Amino acid sequence: MKSRQPWVVGVSGASGTPYAAAVLRGLLAAGESVDLVVSRASRLTLLDETGISFRDAHWREDLAAWLARGADGKPDTFDVSDALDDVRYWAAGDLAAGPSSGSYPAKGMLVVPASTAAVAGVALGLSKDLLQRTASVTLKERRPLVVAVRETPLNGQTLKHMVALDEAGAVVLPASPAFYAGATHIQDLVDFVAGRVLDAAGVPHRLYRRWEGELGGATPRSD
Ligand SMILES: Cc1cc2nc3c(=O)[nH]c(=O)nc-3n(C[C@H](O)[C@H](O)[C@H](O)COP(=O)(O)O)c2cc1C
């Protein structure tokens, strides 16, 4: 039997919970297994941005509600029914959780969105919660780590932390949507960033239209 080898997705308390939902949907649609860590602070942004109160004890139903919601507030077409079977949830305070050890068979980690606090914590190796510990483990094991920073403007400290992460082998990926892919909805902009996160992880997807070398080639979608 093939052993389970998940991507760890760490959701920290920066604005941008729709980015996390889009990455999670993309991973599950690609047939990837997911281990999910939701920081304490991200529950505030999730509540603010979606109205969902995320609870450890009811993570499955709260995650289902989150993934079923598009960034425009409309239902997403993603079918969550069976997809959540490939998700394993770990409480952010559980420092004995599987992903806290380098011997846990994770493929790598995607921190999306990444707060400046998470960027600092990972750059400095603080491991103050499971998200930061898992990111440090990912670096020490030389596995892919993608950090989708969401803050603007950036102070010098955060810029230095981002350089430290880059030098440690992480992909620092600002949550910075582009407009050349023909976006007409907020979800298109979200999917562009989520698609770039999946590109950095080498996970196939069809979340955005790729640049094909022609100016004006990205005509808006008709729906
Ligand atoms: C509504 C709301 C929006 C926030 N947006 C951001 C943000 O975009 N970027 C950021 O770095 N921090 C943001 N924060 C602050 C972080 O949540 C805070 O620094 C927290 O300590 C991050 O902790 P974590 O990295 O453990 O999740 C926001 C906080 C709230 C309540």
Q: What one-character-per-residue DSSP string does 96-154 give?
A: TSGGGSTTS---EEEEEEE-HHHHHHHHTT---SHHHHHHHHHHHTT--EEEEE--SS-
**Per-residue pLDDT tens over the stretch 35-73:** 999 999 999 999 999 999 999 999 999 999 999 999 988
38: helix, strand or coil: strand
The answer to the question of residue 221 being in a domain is no
For the chain, where are the alpha helices, taking DSSP H only?
17-29, 42-50, 59-67, 80-83, 116-123, 130-140, 156-167, 186-201
Alpha-carbon distance 96 to 132, whole Å?
13
Tokens of 146: 């993608």
CA of 118 to the centre of ligand 1 (A): 9
Give the ligand 1 atom nearest the CA of 49: 1
Residue 222 lies in a domain: no
Burial classification of residue 86, based on how many CB atoms lie within 10 Å of its CB (0-12 exposed, 13-18 middle, 19 or more buried): middle
pLDDT of residue 1: 58
Mutation test residue for ligand 1: of 115, 130, 149, the one with most atoms within 8 Å of CB: 115
What is residue 73's predicted lDDT score, i.e. its pLDDT?
Answer: 84
Task: Report the CATH number at residue 148.
Answer: 3.40.50.1950
Residue 210 forms part of a structural domain: no
Is position 31 within any domain?
yes
The predicted structure's pLDDT at residue 218: 66
Cα 64 to ligand 1 centroid, rounded to whole Å: 23
In a domain, 2, yes or no: no
216 within domain boundaries: no
Paired strand residues for 7: 34, 108
Is 152 inside a domain boundary?
yes
Structural domain count, the chain: 1
Assigned domain for 169 exists: yes
Q: In what order do the strands lie in the sheet with 7-11?
A: 87-91, 34-38, 7-11, 108-114, 145-149, 171-172
* Closest to 39 in 3D by CA, of 9, 62, 11, 64: 11
* Residue 186 structural domain: 7-201
Q: Whats the size of the chain, residue-wise?
A: 223
Q: Residues 98-151: pLDDT tens digits? A: 999 999 999 999 999 999 999 999 999 999 999 999 999 999 999 999 999 999
The 10 Å CB-count burial string (b at 16+, else e) for 91-127 is ebebeebbbbeeebebbbbbbbbbbbbbbbbbbeeeb
